[in-house]
């Protein structure tokens, strides 16, 4: 397995963030507060997107997909539909493998990660945190753990809307790339703190504004 370059990662010498009750309380409270504010502020944009997606083709405006969360518990993640209706049949596919599946409006909302706004509904439901390891589908997890059994360690914490792996590595279009990105998420799990979370959020905002999504 190719190792991620960790030399320039932020350091947390005492590693208290991941074990601190105060950190957990602040993180959970912040998740709920900011998810509510984001959904409220972006509600006009969500309404407009819903109309555009609806008139762009057949299918639901928001779709759900099964992911694996904390303690291995499955949940349905919500996103704005960016692909043609019923695009994925049979074996699951990763983003970027079948670009022809993406609709015209879908290319735009994926570029700026607008398709992930409904993820904040999952935050309010308690499925996701704003920052945490990227949640994956069981189909891909089964392949990852063959090479990296440590992946299951990530299930001890809540997955996130954004992650250290996403901002430093980006989306993965193959299982091998998912394994490479995994190094960053394992690092986050061991060094997470309020300041680390804030850094990831700021980097995510920069990524969104520059349109560096899929």
Segment 56-66, tens digit of pLDDT: 878 899 989 99
Structure tokens belonging to residue 69: 């969360």
Segment 90-106, tens digit of pLDDT: 566 676 545 577 888 88
Per-residue confidence (pLDDT) for residue 2, from 0 to 100: 42
- Angle at CA 121, nearest 5°, toward 137 and 32? 115
The H or E element containing residue 51 is helix 43-56
Per-residue confidence (pLDDT) for residue 107, from 0 to 100: 87
Residue 57 domain-assigned (yes or no): yes
Residue 4 domain-assigned (yes or no): no
Q: Which of 35-49, 65-79, 85-99, 120-134 has the lowest mean pLDDT?
A: 85-99
Q: How many structural domains are present in the chain?
A: 1
Residue 214 domain-assigned (yes or no): no
Per-residue confidence (pLDDT) for residue 95, from 0 to 100: 61
Per-residue confidence (pLDDT) for residue 91, from 0 to 100: 64
CA 94, 86, 209, 192 torsion-angle sign: negative
Q: Please compute the mean of the pLDDT values over residues 12-40 and round it to a whole number.
A: 81
* pLDDT reading at 67 higher than 90: yes
Q: Which domain holds residue 98?
A: 17-209
Under 8 Å between Cβ of 64 and 76 = yes
Residue 138 domain-assigned (yes or no): yes
Residue 7 domain-assigned (yes or no): no
What letter does residue 83 receive in the DSSP assignment? B
Under 8 Å between Cβ of 93 and 102 = no
Residue 11 domain-assigned (yes or no): no
Segment 173-191, tens digit of pLDDT: 889 999 999 999 999 999 9
Residue 168 domain-assigned (yes or no): yes
d(CA 79, CA 92): 16
Residue 51 domain-assigned (yes or no): yes
Under 8 Å between Cβ of 52 and 105 = yes
Q: Please compute the mean of the pLDDT values over residues 33-44 and round it to a whole number.
A: 97
């Amino acid at each position: 397995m190719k190792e991620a370059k960790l030399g320039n990662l932020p350091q947390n010498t005492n590693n208290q963030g991941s074990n601190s009750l105060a950190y957990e309380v602040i993180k959970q409270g912040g998740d709920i507060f900011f998810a509510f504010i984001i959904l409220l502020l972006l509600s006009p944009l969500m309404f407009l997107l819903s109309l555009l997606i609806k008139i762009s083709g057949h299918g639901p405006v928001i779709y759900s997909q099964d992911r694996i969360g904390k303690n291995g518990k499955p949940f349905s993640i919500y996103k704005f539909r960016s692909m043609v209706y019923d695009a994925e049949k049979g074996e699951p596919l990763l983003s970027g493998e079948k670009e022809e599946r993406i609709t015209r409006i879908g290319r735009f909302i994926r570029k700026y990660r607008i398709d992930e706004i409904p993820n904040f509904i999952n935050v309010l439901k308690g499925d996701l945190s704003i920052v945490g390891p990227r949640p994956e589908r069981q189909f891909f997890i089964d392949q990852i753990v063959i090479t990296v059994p440590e992946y299951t360690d990530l299930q001890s914490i809540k997955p996130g809307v954004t992650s250290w792996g996403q901002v430093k590595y980006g989306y993965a279009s193959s299982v091998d790339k998912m394994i490479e990105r995994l190094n960053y998420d394992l690092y986050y799990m061991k060094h997470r703190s309020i300041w680390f979370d804030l850094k990831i959020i700021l980097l995510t905002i920069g990524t969104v504004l520059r349109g560096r999504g899929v």
